Structure 1
Amino acid sequence: MELGRLFQGCRTYRRFLQEPVPEEVILEMLDNVRMVSSAGNHQTLRFVAVREPETVERIQPLVKWAAMLPKEIGTPKKHEQPTAWIAIVKTPESGPWSDVDAGIAVESLVMTAYSRGIGSCIMGAIDAPAIAKILDLPDGYSIRMMIALGKPACESHIVDVPENGELKYYVDENRNYYVPKRSTDELAHII
């Protein structure tokens, strides 16, 4: 897939078809993430992929969806929930740059997923201690973020920021997402 199309298409998806994420896609994601940059090449993050349906379902009530939307619109219904999760885990060795490492890692994971037809939602509003218990993480390990995964059951589009400057994403009557993005000229310049 051409890189620009990958960046345009790899949006947040919050509704999923109830089809399993293929194991080979998860394995490709995990293999790619091990090759990305990390501060000092310390590689202190760990990743836990969850595909087992009962565990996937136990995680669902421990995350909060779409902060800018009413819960009844932004939260996936039972038949729209993700079919897999990936936990981004900090280890006792994780240092002050581990959040930067996590951002780099997450981008690799979601881009790989999207290139294989899998949608994602990066989630920070989570009950990390409760999820860590479900995943049986060792002492000193903590979850930094979760990624919800599944075959998209909605569309997600980039739109220009309206004249009033509003950056809130919104949904249409079919619950497809529209995400305002600032122009390149507004965000960057070349010296």
Structure 2
Amino acid sequence: IVTALHSTTKLFLSGPFGSGKTTLALERIRWLLSRERTRGDEILVLVPQRTLALPYAQALRGRNSPPGAPVQISTLAGLSRSAIELYWPLLAASAGFANPRREPAFLNLETAQYHMAPLVDHALNSGDFDGIRVERNRIISQVLDNLNKAALNGFTVDEAYPARRAAHQRRIPRPLPARDLDRL
């Protein structure tokens, strides 16, 4: 594996928790940075959640960090946000925003949940979720997930739930008509 770490090919590491992926990745990054042709801002470390970026940040941005531009350490959400911020001037006008010169405002999960909570509370009090035995916070999370998926698939808020309901009804097994039971 050390041979692969010290080569110029792209490298993808995967494995179970505690198997040494971070240690190997840091060794690879240090080796790349020791070469004069690789700058830190040409390296992207993509982690699934921010807490997993901490070992990289400590090793690559502390007192003993390699000289030069810092290595980019990000989650997929962070990378997406950076791309949107970078290309916003090109995207905003064609996407139909009312004020395309205004910078985008990003919601983190906690803020989105905070704003969704009163809407879910109103629905709970109205009896809209009476048939569901799930905790309030899980409903909030699920509603946000559904809205995100709808947006990614180009649905408006008004189109999202009828489409979701139709998809769900297609998956519910239906009883066979009596005439078909004889063939079983």
TM-score norm. by structure 1 comes to 0.26
Bigger radius of gyration, 1 or 2? 2
TM-score norm. by structure 2 comes to 0.26
Question: Which is helix-richer, 1 or 2?
Answer: 2
